[in-house]
Amino acid sequence: MNDRSFKTEISIAGFAVIIVLLPLIVKGNYFVSVMNLVAIYAVLAMGMGLLMGQAGLISLAHPAWFGLGAYISGILAARGILPAWATPFVSAVGVGIVAYVVGAPVLRLRSYYLACATLALLLITQIAAGQLSDLTGGHEGLLGIPVLTVFGFEFKKDLHFYYLSWALCLICYWFLANLLNSQVGRAIRSFNSSEIASASMGIDIAKYKRHAFVLTAIMAGLAGSVFCFYIRLAIPSSFEFPLLVTLMMMVVIGGIQDLHGALIGSLAVIWLGEFLRNYMKNFFTSMTSEVEAVFFGIIIIVVLIFMPDGLTGWINRIPSWGKRLYERKQTSNQ
Amino acid sequence: MFISETIQYAISGITSGSIYAIVGICWSTVFLISGVLNFSTGEFVMLGGMLTWLFISWGFSLLPAIFFGVACTVIVAMLMERIVIRPVRYPSETTFLLITTAAGSVIRGIVLIACGSDTRHIEPFLGSSPIMIGDAVLLPQVIIVVSVLVLIAGGLVMFLDHTLFGKALRASSINQVGARLIGIKINRVRLFCFGLAGGMGAIAGIVIAPIEFTGYSVGLMEGLKGLVVALLGGWTIRGTVVAGLALGLLEGLGAGFISTGWKDALALFVMLTFLIIRTLDLTSIKKLVYRHE
């Protein structure tokens, strides 16, 4: 037998049990629909956090892959070209190919220049989605997306999508966690600290950068196609600049050194957003995503200045605090 | 007919190109001296226009309104350096990117809450009677925009080359540690640069407001095009001015003859292509060209 422990698998299984049981404990459609968004955005934030924290690549194009996935699925399903259940696979392949073709030249850039290039990609995708109105329905959005049906089972309720999107989220988490523990993951983490050092160890940096980029893009595309069947609409405003700020906030609040940071960040940010929307609508009549971005922006600034490790940094420190407290008690007893 | 149309598009291109050039200079002032790519530069442009509109709507006349608009933006920019950029404990590119983008969206949202989402308009400074060039229309405001660009670029070059503080700025952009060793107060220099960028951005936002409408959301695109121009110009003042005017012309002609909807994508596409071309390894081509030498 190999000596690898099944720590990740056990914690994922535990988390999955909680996720399955939660809708039975907390009643109401509202909770389920919010948790849906948590799962979908967690997939996006995981990809972005992996690139930023482990690989050291600042990629701002994730909302674009999300939108692209949504549009490919939406167009194929709404035009009746493919049955709805097949479209997520097609959009995963499509997003993967586009990400590979675009990523190959773009990933030669570093730090700020990579950020600029990927931001340009995001905005170009957004403008294209608005302008190609024959294909995408323009700014009003793509209508007429059918109900997702898999082998006769119709995904109609929020609860159905709850299980679907959380399954996607946990599978992605499991996949990425395993990837980070493998040879590929070690290579990815090595060139974060020094590209020259890892290149001289014989690691093909360009190849691994491309792999990480394309993999996270495919995940974002899958999340996008689930999202488009969930809200039955694909619209440019669902992947605009505010989404990028939200994702950044998830990554920052959760902390970028660990993979589960994105999950925690997504939970915290979406519920915070819901809380703000419910609580603040007495003060601001138009609670758009841009007004929310004020609060989110302030929180990002405060977190980056005062707790750069994010929430996972705190959580990781809890055991050592406990240990220190215990030891202090021991010494005072003696 | 074709010629006057072309002249018309060229005029509008040069107008917006001048603004891009000023914004590009803002980006490079901050980037060269503090190493921070300030993604909220565009919001300074927006802030200048909106604040001036606000002061005018409160009953100020034009010049005091401009003065207060610029002053407030400078204060905002300096506050941003002091309370957002300077306290960062682990300065890395990712942190600065995240934190300046967040600061930008805070400014944008506050303006949205305070002024509403309607587009605003400032009366042209010299009246709106146009000067005719053939069939093409030249607004007096365009002359103001271009002369402001000349003043800012020229003034900055003079300031950097011929004053002691300007030389200190250049020194700290070359080597921060060295500059600190010879007694330049780096913190004060960085604060000044943010203020300078804020002021220049605000002026750009004010002079363009009578031609294009201003609103809470103009900052993002204006700022990004400034970044495109600063990149193309290689972070120098002269390069930025040339690149700004060229991009403006390209955009103006492209919008006129091809499509207005794709206008913004054009600039971004230029940036993307430029960045990718910069990374290409050209030694093999050079070898081909210089083989006989």
Per-residue pLDDT of chain B (293 residues; tens, 9 = 90+): 678 888 888 888 888 899 999 999 999 888 888 888 888 888 999 998 889 988 988 888 888 899 999 999 999 999 998 888 888 877 788 888 888 988 998 998 888 888 877 788 887 877 777 777 777 778 888 888 889 999 999 999 899 888 888 888 888 888 888 888 888 888 888 899 999 999 999 999 888 888 887 777 788 888 888 888 888 888 888 888 999 999 998 888 888 777 777 778 888 888 888 888 877 766 666 666 666 55
- A109·B101 Cβ contact <8 A: no
- A293·B109 Cβ contact <8 A: yes
- Which chain B residues are closer than 8 Å to A55 by Cβ? none
- Which chain B residues are closer than 8 Å to A244 by Cβ? 101
Reading the block at residue A150, the tokens are 């898999």
Distance CA A84, CA A76 (A): 8
- B105·A293 Cβ contact <8 A: yes
Burial of A149 (0-12, 13-18, 19+ CB in 10 A): middle
B107: containing domain: 2-289
Residue A255: closest CA among chain B residues belongs to which residue? B95
Name the residue among B266, B279, B273 with its Cα closest to residue A209.
B279
In whole angstroms, what separates CA B15 from the centre of its chain?
Answer: 13
- A304·B262 Cβ contact <8 A: no
Write the residue in B37, B99, B112 that is nearest to A300 by C-beta: B99
Residue A297: closest CA among chain B residues belongs to which residue? B102
**pTM to 2 decimals?**
0.87
Name the residue among B48, B4, B8 with its Cα closest to residue B26.
B48
Write the residue in A105, A245, A308 that is nearest to B276 by C-beta: A105
Residue B261: closest CA among chain A residues belongs to which residue? A131
Tens digits of residue pLDDT in A16-63: 888 888 878 877 788 888 888 898 999 999 888 888 888 888 888 889
CATH number at residue B125: 1.10.3470
Task: Give how far B109 is from chain A: nearest CA, Å.
Answer: 5
Q: Which residues make Cβ contacts (< 8 Å) with residue B34, sequence separation at least 6? A: B81, B85, B190, B193, B194
Work out how many domains chain B is built from and give that number.
1
Task: Give how far B269 is from chain A: nearest CA, Å.
Answer: 7
Reading the block at residue A43, the tokens are 């997939």
Name the residue among A266, A173, A247, A325 with its Cα closest to residue B102.
A247
ipTM of the shown complex: 0.85
Distance CA A259, CA A173 (A): 8
Residue B86: closest CA among chain A residues belongs to which residue? A305
Asked whether the beta carbons of B152 and B24 are under 8 A apart, the reply is no
- A301·B84 Cβ contact <8 A: yes
